Amino acid sequence: MPIRICNADTPELLDGVYKVRHKVFSEEEGKFEATDDGRVIDRFDAYQTSHCMAVVNNEEVVGSMRITLDSPLGLPADEFFDFRSHLPADSKLFSCGMYCVQKDFRAPRIALGLIMMASYLSMSNGVSHVAAPINPAIAKLLKRVGFKQLGDEFKDPHFGLPVLPMLLDINDLNDHFINFVKQNDLYNFLHSYEYYTFSKDEHVIKSGEPGDMAYVIIEGEVEIKNNSALLGSLKEGDIFGELALLTEDVRSADVFAKTDVKAMTLHKDAFLKHLHTNPDQAMKLINTLGQRIKSLNEKVI
């Protein structure tokens, strides 16, 4: 099954986030005291400046991360380290925290997906830096996407756990999806994308099924087939499934993950919402998709 990482923007997803925190922090790791209702929530969850990412497997939330935008009420990261002394005067700060994933689903690709989604959400909010007081075990992953270590490892004042202070300058973030966004000036769409991971040989798109999303490959390669005949392959930075945003047709071909694949997906309903509320930005995306379709037709002809 593919793993989906998305904004927890429904009551059901938010409740799943609070439950998975309890399962990981209280039941699996014993960091927090168990609660009667089986949920872990704090004051920052009540602020409109906080956003939760959910890791979803077969409709079940199995992990999460919270991202909080700076406000007069401060940030959760302020309780761990003085990040602000490392920032320029005109900076705008996001804080990452409450990272948790159930034991059966812990893998570098999940942690990296949450980190990247936090970075994308930061960009869509005009943030310049992301502060992350993190478990040293995921430090290498953060460095891969541009985070820098600000100080030595120390003990969390609340639970005595090891913490490493790390900071991302958004200008240092560089990956295929961000390059796609920059090239097509689609920053307003960032918060509508979701992050998917597929294992090698996994079915990504099935012929004959209704299409409801387009894909941008961040890492890996896919193969397009029709009745087992290979039509082509796509790699990092390529788009596929885009006709689903523009037509009511079913999928016309099968797509398989040739390798492990990481992709960003834009759902049709989010695209149509942008089309109505921000037509200029939507037209830019339509132009991008049109160029992609033209390129594919030229290859076939």
Q: Which among 254, 262, 249, 260 is positioned nearest to 230, based on CA atoms?
A: 254
Tens-digit pLDDT string for the chain (301 aa): 799 999 999 999 999 999 999 999 999 999 889 999 999 999 999 998 999 999 999 999 999 999 999 999 999 999 889 999 999 999 999 999 999 999 999 988 898 899 889 888 888 888 999 999 988 988 988 898 899 999 999 988 777 789 999 999 998 887 888 888 887 778 888 888 999 999 999 999 999 998 899 999 999 999 999 888 888 899 998 888 888 888 888 898 899 999 999 999 999 998 888 888 878 777 877 777 777 666 655 554 4
**Tokens of residue 79, six digits:** 């309780």
**3-172 architecture in CATH?**
3-Layer(aba) Sandwich (3.40)
Q: Which among 172, 196, 169 is positioned nearest to 261, based on CA atoms?
A: 196
Domain-wise residue ranges, the chain: 3-172, 176-300
Residue 99 DSSP label = E
Q: Do domains 3-172 and 176-300 have the same CATH topology?
A: no
Please give the CATH superfamily to which domain 176-300 belongs.
Jelly Rolls (2.60.120.10)
